[in-house]
Structure formats: structure tokens, C-alpha cells
Chains A and B, each alone.
Chain A
């Protein structure tokens, strides 16, 4: 019997995907329903926001772009 499961499809680069999978595995697998392919994940609808936040935090640790220039005023 065919099933339709509600959820959110996440598309991202493979590098980001591996971070997402890692976040999921260190949080009792409460985000990801299914790992689809290199660039797609199927995620619980209620958890997307939190997952996004966790990714943002993780990226902040490693990534610091410079502001283009300082303000002189």
C-alpha cells in the first residue's frame, strides 16, 4: 500500500549534508527521517527550524567572513 509521509525535503551540498547527518546522530536521530542521496535529506517538519539553527551555530565556529570595510563616520 502506498504511503504519503508529511515532512520537509532539504537540499544542500554534500559537505553541509554530512554536518547535518552528524548533528542528527549526536542528537538521538531526532531530525532526519531518511537519508535520500548525496544532496537530499528528508526531515521532520517540526524540527527544521532547530536543525537550521544548529547548522548555523556549527558554521559560526569555523567560518568568519570579513566585513568589506569599516565605517568611517
Chain B
């Protein structure tokens, strides 16, 4: 419905970087490896693996032999991703020479190094040889990371203007000032004086809140990188400003992601700029440094899962995404997500008359529920409320979707509801309620909008046909009209490149 400013994601961030940045990034084997692991669809991985040890460039025409006719679309999409990440180079189409493709040099060398394990690049971290305190085990690190992260979420949630008895409650400490600054700069919260704590959540903040933990971490880290970048530009004239390069910072994050959970690493092996990043990473809960011995650092699960698809720490929001990952219509399979955090244990009972009873006293969970439900009574260990048209509409106005709400309710349903549903073979949530939530959303979605670019005034029909066909192949075509010779695409970068290479070929 809205041009909801989607929270920042890694792929979008990377796509905007120039080629020189990629060349620098790919100097580090762990980066090349992480990008390969996390960012590529299966077919793209196959291409990379095939090209990796190929001594000479591959003719683009030969690639067609590998891909079945009906897979052309996937092939083009894979190639388009590989190009936008500057992993492959394709020679421009020319009349005298056929098109060739090959891996970019730095990426190829680094990925080879990562696979073969040679070199002295230390890009997979240097383990500490010092004795490790036995109290620092994986459970300890998980607890530590969860606490840090929930503090941040609390801070964001608590900035919601509270209705009645609903949310709030006390929360101790909160995140460090540096983290608060990042949240402010990233417009996840904005300064306002009529709320507790002096800040209030923005629409981007709501989207952030409902993301999966891993996506949340990336959102925050990318905001941080951008803030550092801007600060650099400001300080570029200052003589001896300690220059923390955002490219190096990003490389460091990819390196952290390749470390092993529960293992101690050597702080001294890091370069100075990277060592300067450590305090901030401690504030985010990505690493842990023992107070009495700062020569070691421990990556937490938040860091080591950065580039894997394995789920990171369970948090309030994890229910949303875990459930959303399932088929949203298939409510019966929901509600069985294993939860480790006490706050996210199933606690919600919802009746066919839209009443909600939640057996919880966690301020975080109550505050999240207050986002989409009208809570009216609070008892020790329990709150009651109801879903109303207004409460759902308000949530949708915040940028929350009906599916997110339904998934949240399903994955946080009380075990009594899950049991009753299993016994009678019915879905966990009352279907009337689920349908009504969706209907309320539809009511609000009278106009659907999408941001992008209109392409028009083509010189020739042929130019229109080929560019719009290309847009469709790479999956950015939203609307087209052959009569008007116009089409609408959600992204422009690759179409522009395509036009340029066409011009050259002519």
C-alpha cells in the first residue's frame, strides 16, 4: 500500500557500490567466500564453481549448452546478479568477436585461496593462544548477545507512544549512546519530546522490529557503516583523523562471519582501524570481550550467523519471520516453532470474537502486541485486549502487514490453542479472525504503489521490444504497454548498462 521504505538490506547496499570497491572487498578471501555463500542463488553458484578453475574465458554462447531452453530466465537472472556483484566480467557485444565471460581476478584468486586454504591473509581470524576462561562458553555468549540485542529492541519498542495500560514498563540500562545514535541517524527512531525517553519510533523502525533477527543485525550494521562513511567525509580535511574506511569495515564484518562460535580470537592480530571497531561491535552484541583480558575477543552467534541462512538468536521478531517463512496460508503448521527465549514462548489465546488473552509479563512482548491490538486490561502475568478494525488499521498504517500479524499470533499461540487445534484437526487461529485481519488490510489497500522508473520515447519499436524484454528477463518489469511503447521497471542500473552496451555495439 505505501511506498514503504523497505529496511536496508545487504544486497541493495552492495548493488550500489562501485566496481573499485568490489575489487578492494574481494582482496580478502573471507569476503569472497561469504558473498559466494550468502548472496548467490544456486544456479549462480554453479556458474562460479565451473568458472573458478577455467584457465581461459568462456564463450557466452557455450553457456547456453549448460542451460536448458526453459531455464533461460533463471540463467539471465543468475548472470545479472553475478554482474551486479562484480563477480563476472562479460565482454561487450561486438561484431567481430563473440561475447566471453570470466570471473573477476580478485574474486577468483580470493575464492581459490579460501577453498584451498593457502596464503597468509589471516582473513579467517587468528585464534588466541592464551588460556580461555572456562566460564565463557557458548551458552554464556548466547545470553550475552541476546541481552544486548533485546536491549536495543526494547529501546525501539519503548519509543512507541503507549496507549492506556498496554506496553512500557521499566527497562534497565538500554543500549549505549553510540547505538542510540545509529538508530537516530538511521531514522528508526526520531527525537520527540512527548514520549518517554524523548524519542519515537518511525515507520522504518516498525519494519525493523518485525524483521528476522539476522536481517535486523544487517540493517543496523549497514546504517552504522553509512554513518561512519558520512563522518569520514566530514573529517576528511582534518589532518590526522583516524580514517576508518567503510570498505575495510565491511570486510571485517565478513571476516567475523567466518569465525567459529565459542572460540577466542587474538585482538592483537587485527589492524588498528579494525581494533577501533571492536567497542562498537561489543555495543551491538556481535562480539564479547572479557573485562579482565582485552587481548581476546569472542564472536557471538549474532556475528557468526551474519552470512549463513541458519537462524540467528531467537528474539521477539523471530516468530514473525519463522512463521512467515512457512506457507502463510497453512496455519496448522505454525505455532510449533521451537523457541528458546522465555519471552517468545507461546502465550497468546485468541477467540473467535477477536478477544486476546496473553499470559505474559514481558514488557517487550506486551509492547509488540500493543502495536496491533487494543489492549485494555493488565493483570499480574496476563494482559487482555481485542483486535479491532482500528487497531489493525493503525498497525498497517505503521507499515506492518496482515501476514506479519497473523504469523506472529500463530507462532506465539498458547500451547492450549495448539493442542486443541491438533485434537480437532483445525488451524490454530480461528479462521474468521485470520480472514478478517486480511480483509481489514485489503480495505486499506485501495491503491498499491511501487517506486521505480518509466521508460518511454523509444527511438524504434525494436529498441522498445529488446529493452522491455531484457527488463522482464532480469525481473524488474512491473508494467508495460505495447500500444504506448512504454514500460515501468523497479530498477534502473542494469537497464542503463544494457543500453550503453547496445550503443557501443552499434
A residues with a Cβ closer than 8 A to B are 1-13, 16, 20, 33-34, 36-37, 40, 42-43, 45, 48-49, 52, 55, 59, 65, 67-69, 71, 73
Give the distance to chain B from A71, nearest Cβ to Cβ, in Å: 7
B133 sits at the interface (CB 8 A): no
Q: Could you tell me if A5 and B456 are in contact, using CB atoms closer than 8 angstroms?
A: yes
Complex interface residues of chain B between 371 and 386 (CB less than 8 A to chain A) = 376-377, 386
Contact of B447 among A2, A11, A36 (CB under 8 A): A11
Nearest chain A CB to B389 CB, angstrom units: 6
Whether, in the assembled complex, B233 has its beta carbon less than 8 Å from a beta carbon of chain A, the answer is: no
* Chain B residues closer than 8 Å to A34, beta-carbon distance: 454
- When C-beta atoms are compared, the residue in chain A nearest to B490 turns out to be A9
- B-chain residues with CB within 8 Å of residue A71 when the two chains form the complex: 376, 386
Report which residue of B446, B453, B479, B484 has the largest number of chain A beta carbons within 10 angstroms of its beta carbon. Answer: B446
Does the CB pair B447–A16 fall under 8 Å?
yes
Pairwise interchain contact B436-A36, C-beta atoms closer than 8 A: no
The chain A residue sitting closest to B432, CB to CB, is A68
Please determine whether A36 and B484 come into contact, CB atoms closer than 8 angstroms. Answer: yes
State in angstroms the CA–CA spacing of A43 and B450 once bound together.
Answer: 10
B115 near A: Cβ within 8 Å?
no
For A2, list chain B residues within 8 Å (CB): 455-459, 463, 467, 499
Q: With A and B bound together, what is the CA distance between A33 and B453 in angstroms?
A: 12
- Interchain CB contact (< 8 A) of A68 among B436, B458, B463: B436
B377 partner, pick from A6, A67, A73, beta carbons under 8 A: A73
Chain A residues positioned under 8 Å from B451 (CB to CB) = 7-8, 45
> Quick one: given A3-B456, A73-B376, are A67 and B388 in contact (CB under 8 Å)?
yes
20 pairs, CB–CB < 8 Å, chain A vs chain B = A2-B457, A2-B458, A2-B463, A3-B455, A4-B454, A4-B492, A5-B454, A5-B455, A8-B449, A9-B478, A13-B446, A36-B479, A36-B484, A45-B451, A49-B2, A52-B2, A55-B446, A68-B436, A71-B376, A71-B386
Chain B 477-501 interface 0/1 with A at a Cβ cutoff of 8 Å (1 = within): 0110100101010001001100100
**What is the CA–CA distance of A34 and B467 in the complex, to the nearest angstrom?**
21
A17 → chain B closest CB, angstroms = 8
Q: Considering the chains assembled together, what is the distance between the CA atoms of A7 and B486 in angstroms? A: 14
Q: Is the CB of B457 within 8 A of A1?
A: yes
- A36 CB to nearest B CB, Å: 7
B448 within 8 Å of A by Cβ? yes
A37 to B488, CA, bound (A): 13
Report the bound CA distance from A20 to B389 in whole Å: 24
User: B423 on the interface (CB 8 Å rule)?
Assistant: no
- B410-444 to A contact mask, C-beta < 8 Å, 1/0: 00000000000000000000000000100000010
Q: Please indicate the chain A residues that have their CB under 8 angstroms from the CB of B389 in the complex.
A: 65, 67-68
A37 contacts across to B, CB distance below 8 A: 481
Q: Is the CB of B459 within 8 A of A1?
A: yes
B353 at interface, CB cutoff 8 A: yes
CA distance A10 to B386 in the complex (A): 33
Q: Tell me whether B3 is interfacial, beta carbon within 8 Å.
A: yes
Q: Which residues of B contact A5 (CB under 8 A)?
A: 453-456
Q: Which residues in B have some Cβ–Cβ distance to A below 8 Å?
A: 1-3, 353-354, 376-377, 386, 388-389, 436, 443, 446-459, 463, 467, 478-479, 481, 484, 486, 488, 492, 495-496, 499
Find the B residue at minimum CB distance from A11: B448
- Nearest CB in chain A: distance from B361 CB, A: 20
Contact A9:B479 (CB < 8 A) given known A2-B463, A36-B484? yes
In the complex, what distance in Å separates the CA atom of A52 from the CA atom of B444? 10
B453 and A7 within 8 A (CB): yes
Q: How far is the CA of A31 from the CA of B462 in the complex (A)?
A: 32
Q: Given A5-B456, A68-B354 in contact, is the A48-B377 Cβ separation under 8 Å?
A: no
Q: Is the CB of B455 within 8 A of A59?
A: no
User: How far does the alpha carbon of A18 sit from the alpha carbon of B376 in the complex, in Å?
Assistant: 41
Residues of A contacting B3 in the complex (Cβ-Cβ under 8 angstroms) = 8, 45, 48
Q: How far is the CB of B30 from chain A (nearest CB, A)?
A: 37
Across the interface, do A3 and B457 meet the contact criterion of CB distance under 8 Å? Answer: yes
Nearest Cβ distance between residue A23 and chain B, in whole angstroms?
11
| Nearest chain B CB to A59 CB, angstrom units | 7
Closest chain-A Cβ to B110's Cβ sits at a distance in Å of 35
Question: Smallest CB-CB separation from B496: which chain A residue?
Answer: A4
CA distance A45 to B451 in the complex (A): 8
Contact A9 B452 (CB under 8 A): yes
Q: With A2-B499, A4-B455 as given contacts, are A12 and B447 in contact (CB-CB < 8 Å)?
A: yes
Bound: A1/B481 CA distance, A = 18
Q: Are B448 and A12 in contact (CB under 8 A)?
A: yes
- Given contacts A4-B453, A9-B450, A10-B447, could you give 6 more A-B pairs where the C-beta distance is less than 8 Å? A1-B459, A3-B457, A7-B452, A9-B449, A36-B479, A55-B447
A68 to B458, CA, bound (A): 53
CA distance A55 to B447 in the complex (A): 9
For residue B478, which residue of chain A has the nearest CB? A9
A10 to B451, CA, bound (A): 9
Smallest distance from the beta carbon of B495 to chain A beta carbons, Å?
A: 8
Alpha-carbon separation in the docked complex, A23 to B270 (Å):
61
> What is the CB-to-nearest-CB distance from B202 to chain A, in angstroms, rounded to a whole number?
14
A6: shortest Cβ distance to chain B, in Å?
6
Given contacts A2-B499, A37-B481, A52-B2, contact A10 B448 (CB under 8 A): yes
